[in-house]
Amino acid sequence: MAFYEREFIEIKRDNYKMKIVGPLKCSVEQEDVRQYIMACVRKEKIAIAMRVVLVVILWLFAALPLLGEFVLSSNPNPHIGPGMIALTIVFALAAAWCTFISAKSIPASKRFIANADPDSPEQLLASASDAVIWKQKKQWEICYSHDLVPLESVMANRPVFLSDGVNFANRMNDTERSLRRMEEKQLIEYAASLTIDRVRSSDLLMVYLDIDKLDSGVYSHAAGKVLGSALSASELEGVAVSSGDSAATLNGSANEYVVCFVGDGARLERIEAQLQENITLTRLFSDKGIHRSNRMIDSGVAEEPLVADGIVRNGELIAPAGHSLSFCAAGFNDAWKETKS
């Protein structure tokens, strides 16, 4: 089994001809991550050397007119013209600016180099996600331009960032911008079909909460907060969340709120067991309680008329692109923030 694995949508471009390829499953072993960390260290060392060399060269250029006229010249009446003075000032300002920037960046680079430990389990895990992209880019052919878009971002319709960190909407060139908009549109269309297929192949964990037993105020926020208190963000990493009033609530035969977790069966089994063991939480269950399901409706979410709250990523529940954070999602995030504080 691979040390770390992620799925991406690959965008391949050649002379502005774009093709979406995916999902692309990428993985790394521990040795790959070690090589990535060492490559980062080498990159920082080279960056330090280049900054120092640049600063020295700029100061030499700034001092060269003065050095040539007042030190090396045999002219008894040294004189520097206005043009040379202006050039000296320009180089001196550039040198001063580079010195200022280097004085701030070089210590950070040195700390990174000093703290880099390719054998540290914590650093291996922290660097694994970036190492996947680093390894994949090394394997690609140079004749094509490739970008990796995280699969979870596409499935949740989140704002799409390319692997080089440039947002689709932030390119100044009109041709590039048009291409990026086309890519984003096709990715969203691709996500619409992919999400349903992926959810249909996943399991659902339905949690039914009694609205009357939730705290007063916005019960959807209370539902998210109580579940966020029972489940850590790390336990829900990569899990999609949907919520809403149940069908029975909408037709007046019940008063319950549903939170649906979508993920792989083994993960949901652990989540279900943890929720069932939480006595305080089980008292808030409605008569339906908690159960697994795989029934779908046309929207590809669940048997209940739910709304997608988003996907858990890096310690927070992130809303789908173009949507504000729901009250339920805000409840999860508030619970996790309180846990950290």
Q: Are residues 41 and 77 in the same domain?
A: yes
333 pLDDT higher than 60: yes
The last residue of one of the domains, among 201, 226, 260, is 201
Range of the domain at 234: 202-340
Pair (157, 221) in one structural domain: no
- CA pair distance 301, 240, nearest whole angstrom: 10
Mean pLDDT of all residues in 130-152: 73
- Tell whether the model's pLDDT for residue 329 goes beyond 70: yes
Partners of 146 in the β-ladder: 12
Amino acid 49: pLDDT: 93
Q: Higher model confidence: residue 117 or residue 22?
A: 117
Q: In this model, does residue 145 exceed pLDDT 70?
A: no
Whether the per-residue pLDDT at 167 is higher than 60: the answer is no
Q: Are 156 and 23 in contact (CB under 8 A)?
A: no
Same domain, 253 and 184: no
| Confidence category of residue 69, pLDDT binned at 50, 70, 90 | low
**The pLDDT value given to residue 168:** 38
Final residue in a domain of this structure, among 201, 220, 236: 201
Rounded percentage of the chain residues whose pLDDT exceeds 70? 71
Q: Could you tell me if 254 and 336 are in contact, meaning their C-beta atoms sit under 8 angstroms apart?
A: no
Query: Is residue 40's pLDDT more than 80?
Result: yes
Query: Can you tell me whether residue 162 is helix, strand or coil?
Result: coil
Residue 317 token pair: 């529940």
pLDDT digits (tens, 9 = 90+) for 82-105: 777 787 888 889 889 999 998 888
| Mean pLDDT across 154-176 | 47
Residues 321 and 269 in one domain: yes
Other beta carbons within 10 angstroms of residue 285's beta carbon come to: 17
Q: Given a cut of 70, is residue 189 above it in pLDDT?
A: no
Count other Cβ atoms within 10 Å, centred on residue 104. Answer: 8
Q: Read off the pLDDT of each residue in 4-31 and give the average, rounded to a whole number.
A: 75
Burial of 121 (0-12, 13-18, 19+ CB in 10 A): exposed
pLDDT at 298 over 50: no
Q: Based on the fold, state whether residues 265 and 303 are members of the same structural domain.
A: yes
Encode burial over 105-116: b for 16+ CB neighbours within 10 A, e otherwise.
Answer: ebeebeeeeeee
pLDDT score at 150:
73
Predicted confidence band at 126 (pLDDT cuts at 50, 70, 90)? confident
* Mean pLDDT of the region 145-172: 54
Predicted confidence band of residue 302 (pLDDT cuts 50, 70, 90): very low
What's the number of domains the chain is made of? 2
Residue 301: its pLDDT value, please? 43
pLDDT digits (tens, 9 = 90+) for 210-269: 999 887 678 999 999 999 999 998 888 888 888 888 888 888 888 999 998 887 777 888
| Of the candidate ranges 124-128, 171-175, 329-333, the one whose mean pLDDT is the lowest | 171-175
pLDDT at 296: 45
Q: Indicate if 141 and 41 belong to the same structural domain.
A: yes
Q: Are residues 215 and 180 in the same domain?
A: no
Give the Cα separation of 328 and 217 in Å (integer).
12
Q: What is the pLDDT of residue 172?
A: 39
Q: For the chain, what is the mean pLDDT?
A: 77
- Structure token pair of residue 171: 């390119």
Based on the fold, state whether residues 247 and 302 are members of the same structural domain. Answer: yes
Task: Number of helices (H) and strands (E) in the chain: give both, helices first.
Answer: 10, 9
Q: Which of 201, 233, 261 corresponds to the end of one domain?
A: 201
Q: Are residues 177 and 211 in the same domain?
A: no
Lowest mean pLDDT among 134-138, 182-186, 256-260: 182-186
Same domain (yes/no): 53, 173: yes
Q: Is 247 in the same domain as 193? A: no
The number of beta carbons lying within 10 Å of the beta carbon of residue 30 is 17
Q: Is the pLDDT of residue 171 over 70?
A: no
